[in-house]
Structure 1
Amino acid sequence: MGLITGLFTLPLAPVRGVVWVAEQLYDEAVRELNDPAVIRRQLMAVQTAREDGTISEQEAAQQEEELVRRLWTATRTSGGGEV
């Protein structure tokens, strides 16, 4: 970036900073959403809630179906890790 370009785009620096932070937050959220370890912990939490009776069988089945789908996708896209 040249001196003139830098001077003209200086007012945009805060906007670029906010965009960078937003991109970092998005990337971290996607990583956590697709992390097999996190998904497995969520599956265990659903099983515990089912055993405690805090959620119905139907709710548990729906949540487990979604979590297994996410786990399947995460392991396929991450290079075939253990399911």
Structure 2
Amino acid sequence: MTLLELSADYRASAAALQTRALELEQQRRSTDSRELRLRLDGRIRLLRTMWREARELAVLCEHYYERGYRRNVRYTL
């Protein structure tokens, strides 16, 4: 598997994470339970972090071999 192929997988994962986070946000808006809202907030926050990281890794893999590409500092050695 090449890094370009891997980037497509990261993008697909990011889309799935975003979809799930949006579903949970909708569920959060429709609930009256304070406890459930707090649990959903935690899950949504985690999904948003995973979504952001998957998007960043997709970009990194897409451009890894391009000369002059400025990589994200978080993912450099």
What percent identity do the matched residue pairs reach?
8
Which fold has the larger relative contact order, with Cα–Cα distance below 8 Å and residues 6 or more apart in sequence?
A: 2
Which sections of structure 2, spanning at least 5 residues, go unmatched? 1-8, 61-77
Instruction: Tell me what 1:12 maps to.
Output: none
Instruction: Tell me what 1:51 maps to.
Output: 29
Runs (4 or more) in structure 1 with deviation over 4 Å come to none
Shift of 1:50: 0.7
TM-score, normalised via structure 2 length: 0.52
Aligned-residue CA RMSD in angstroms? 2.4
Of 54, 59, 70, the residue aligned with 1:79 is 59
TM-score, normalised via structure 1 length: 0.49
The structure that has the greater radius of gyration is 1
Q: Work out the CA distance in 1 between the residues paired with 2:22 and 2:47.
A: 10
Of 33, 39, 43, the residue aligned with 1:63 is 43
What secondary structure sits across from 2:54 in the alignment?
helix
Which sections of structure 1, spanning at least 5 residues, go unmatched? 1-30
